[in-house]
Structure 1
Amino acid sequence: MPRISAADRRSDFVKAAVEVIAEHGIDGATTRRIAEQANAPLATLHYCYNSKEDLFGDVYTFVAERFKEVAVTSDPHGDVPETARQLLRGVMECYLESENFAATTLELVSWARRQHGDKGIGVYDEALEILRQLLRTADSADELDDNGVDEIAYVIATLADGFALNWLTYGDPSAAQEQMAVVTSVLDSWLSARLSPVGAS
């Protein structure tokens, strides 16, 4: 049987932690449950991680990287409204694809905010900065100042988070698909008003 590297083991534990946190919350995500979810001995988990906080730090990094991957693979091309729309849909589809990822993300941000204020804020800062960078690449981005880019990134994040909470509450995939369309239309309406030239009728 091939030997599993420490890096692969850590990856397994991170993925297992996402599942356990989603089901049991941060407080219920014991190292024993995480090891069982990963089909690994508890001693192996303690060999890979000095503490549960160290493991949660890697889960936090995993979540941040997933948001970056979602944003980049949305690969928006077009003007600011189309880019914003694609970014919003990309994040919502990520949540819809994995209810456990959505639940763990919200749990982890709340936990990090309570335990380590700066780190809790950091996951949002990083996600928002990715959105800003991609919005600045849009065809009509030169018409926006930094405040405009900040506002659009904030609205995308707020709408996506609201969608995630609703999806986690009701867990109805059919309704969620319809709600994605509603949320996207809200963004479209807001962008139309936000980007209209002053004084335009």
Structure 2
Amino acid sequence: MFAWLDDLTAYGTLVEIGYAKGRGKTIVIAAPETPQTFGWLSEASEVGIGIADSATNDLWFAFSCASSTIAAATPLEALKEVVRLSPNLESPIEQAFWGAYVQQMPRELNGLEAQHPVFGGRYRIDFALPKQKIGIELDGYAWHSSPEAFTRDRARQRELELDGWRIVRFSGSEITKDAADCVRQAAAFAASIERDRPTP
């Protein structure tokens, strides 16, 4: 379910959000701002404190039901972000990593892309910050266990690094055990690279 909230009178939408939550549906809430910074809450407080308190509680209810939240200027921008946040992933470990990323949305990984093509599409990096040339690779046993795959992975990694990419790798068992921790480690890796980059 996708809901755009930019008004304090969205009671029908709030009911639908609660119903979707009760049915176990994925809920994406998008709004111009987060509940903490909604400018129109201050407008409501001019009418009466009870209205503002009630509206704040309603918004917190809606946002607490969400699987993910998006701040965007318009509903169209929010929908574009929904598409970006719903990539077509090839494996369960990629889905687990992306799900943990969407839950956390660490600032260090802002702009993370899934299935990023490089060298004209000859290779694909599982997850990438293209502007910083930082890649995150997930090595599942099924795809990376043969001697040929092992050799191919090393040649590919060297080629990427010669082009300026920095790659962090996680095994499938690491992702399965604790995808959220892998996301935190990837964010720390990206932060350390940015800290170590020479200033122009």
Q: Which has more radius of gyration?
A: 2
Q: TM-score, normalised by structure 2?
A: 0.30
More helix by share: 1
Which structure dedicates a bigger proportion of its chain to strand? Answer: 2
Bigger relative CO (Cα 8 Å, ≥ 6 apart): 1
TM-score, normalising length: structure 1: 0.30
